[in-house]
Amino acid sequence: MVVQNGQYNIGHICTKQQCDNGLGDKVSFRWMPASGRPSDFTFTDLEIQSNKFANVINNLGFAPGDIFFTFLPKCPEQFFSFLGVLKNQVICGTLFSNFGDEALLDRLGDSRAKGVITKKSFLKKLSRIRDQLPNLKFIIVTDIEDHMSDDVLSYSALMANASEDFITPLTAPETPSVLHYTSGSTGKPKGVLHVHRSVLKQCATTRDVLQLGEDDIYWCTADQGWVTGTSYGIIGPWGLGVTQIHYGGMYDAARWFDILAQQKVSIWYSAPTALRMLMREDNSLYQQYDLSSLRYIFSVGEPLNPEVIQWSRKILNKDIYDTWFQTETGAIMITNRPELEIRAGSMGKPVEGIEPAILDDQGLPVAAGEQGNLCLKPGWPSMFITYLNNDTAYQQKFINGRYFTGDTAIKDADGYYWFKGRSDDVINTGGHLISPFEIESALLEIDEVAESGVIGAPDDVMFEKVVAFVHLHSGIEASKELEIKIRLYISNKVSSIATPQELIFVDKVPKNKSGKIMRRVLKARYLGLDEGDTSTLED
Amino acid sequence: MSIMEPLTNIFREVFDDDDISLSPEMTADDVDGWDSLSHVNLIVTIESRFSIRFSQKELLTFKNVGDLMSSIESKL
């Protein structure tokens, strides 16, 4: 049973409860740095280290409901701090380690975060925006020996003086827990707030969809900066006492398959972009690996095209099961899974307790087999409770009693769902949702740029790529150097994943009469399609 | 001609980190933020600043900074 004695606290369930259930000596994760020797951490280690961090932030004066962020690449401190923060009933947000200044400012500023844990090389980004973050009281740095000041503190120094004992307060299911920011097509990113109750659905789907049991070795390649990295790289597997592999290196086909084979990974959860990159390698690479321990491969982030499934069947002799969820849902909602016949290219069928529907814009059912808005009946345990500081936007996600996901889909006669696209302009590149508004805003900060419009366009590897249309101020000439300046500005101010893969200099960015960028028109022009109704375009 | 200094400056600009000091053994795992997308930024910037071009085949052979430096030097 995931929740015992009424204790819903995720930090407790992932650590102390596993120890109490007799798994204290079991390896909770094998840490495999990019270079150097692996090291094992038992559930007792996880309990002690997260307890110490819980005491650290308790001693610093954090109280339930305060907000703390991790801003780290994948590393053991990420897990200890995440779980320690939750044990305190402090809300834990996670930040993708490649976020630039603007992305950090949006998220830390909107949430009024009180603390962040990071590494020394990321301090420069934070220091550049620090004066705009009056609520940020503490920065804890994982790789400095001594405190740098009263508020830039050494992790190791703090942990050395912290007690190993921490009694997690009895935590009610509705207590806020994890915070992830997600992009919309307009406005700044919104903070998706979850509660500790989510552990029920995250563990249930880890068990019933990902098929994880206590003897499995599990590897989820997702970064902890995104919802998959927390829901299925921390909470689900450790809530069930499963041993994980966590690897600190980048994509490398040979290294990845070394890990799969040598670590005897039995369940692997990855992303279509990575799988498509693997498809591009010479197939002979895979013949040298013994994958007999690997039971199942799952995928998440963007639709898995049938070619990848066919490649995997032929080359790896394995099926790949595509799963669908989003930051707001907190856990897998619709999925392919081993007991279902795979319809290659489909999202699969809903998991137990989830009631999707295909509805029109008024919230009414469309005819069978027709495309419409993919909606969910509210009430599942891992459902978000609000967008932080923006409950109006949260309420707008519900029409006629159904949650509108922003995706469009169809349902076939056999009950399988098929993703068709987004109902907004959000770009899904490599499994990450990117706001065109965020990129357009950052582009306008570049002196030479007068107007900008950003769209997502189909891409063979990334599913969608970022394409930016830029109109320069008069007298400014387009050049290779300017293109590089723009690319690097976006990469460093927003994030590497937001970098335009194509930059197109134009004389004018189409807008409607009220000044709204007509991304629909830009996309049609880029794809060579009919531009549709252009009567609202400004002169 | 030593390319270490201009190449270091490019790395610092691309990865927004003035503390980067290059060595031939360095790999993507040693530089924060060096992912597949910022790698494209790096290559585009190097090509422009040194006025050279890499082939797709060459790009696949770079295992570390030393390989990258050797390739640049061979084109100058």
Which tens digits make up the pLDDT trace of A292-312? 999 999 999 988 989 999 999
Q: Residue A512's pLDDT is what?
A: 85
Q: Residue B29's pLDDT is what?
A: 85
pLDDT at A474 over 60: yes
Residue labelled with tokens 């499963």: A242
* HSE-up of residue A445 (Cα within 13 Å, Cβ side): 16
Q: Residue B1's pLDDT is what?
A: 57
A144 touches chain B (CB under 8 A): no
Split at pLDDT 50, 70, 90, the class of A188 is confident
Instruction: Among A71, A75, A97, A98, pick the best mutation site for testing chain B contact (most B Cβ within 10 A).
Output: A98
ipTM (interface pTM)? 0.91
Question: SS3 for A54-117, per residue?
Answer: HHHHHHCCCCCCCEEEEECCCCHHHHHHHHHHHHCCCEEEECCCCECHHHHHHHHHHHCCCEEE
Q: Residue A422's pLDDT is what?
A: 86
- Residue B9 is inside which H or E element, if any? helix B4-14
pLDDT at A395 over 90: yes
With CA atoms as reference, the chain B residue closest to A462 would be B37
pLDDT tens per residue, chain B (76 residues)? 589 999 999 999 999 998 899 999 999 888 888 888 899 999 999 999 999 999 988 887 888 999 999 999 999 8
Q: Compute CA distances A297 → A209, A242, A245, A268, A500, whole Å.
A: 11, 16, 15, 5, 31
Taking residues A232-258, what's their average pLDDT? Answer: 96
B25 touches chain A (CB under 8 A): no
Taking residues A501-530, what's their average pLDDT? Answer: 90
Tell me the residue ranges of DSSP E strands in A142-248. Answer: 152-154, 176-182, 190-195, 217-220, 243-247
Question: SS3 for A268-304, per residue?
Answer: EEECHHHHHHHHCCCHHHHHHCCCCCCCEEEECCCCC
Q: Residue A355's pLDDT is what?
A: 98
Q: In Å, how far is A506's CA from the nearest CA of chain B?
A: 21
pLDDT at A52 over 80: yes
Nearest to A484 among B32, B37, B44 (CB): B44
A496 touches chain B (CB under 8 A): yes
Digit-coded pLDDT (tens) for A226-235: 999 999 999 9
One-character DSSP codes across A120-163: GGGHHHHHHHGGG-TT--EEEETT-SS-SSSSEEEHHHHHHTS-
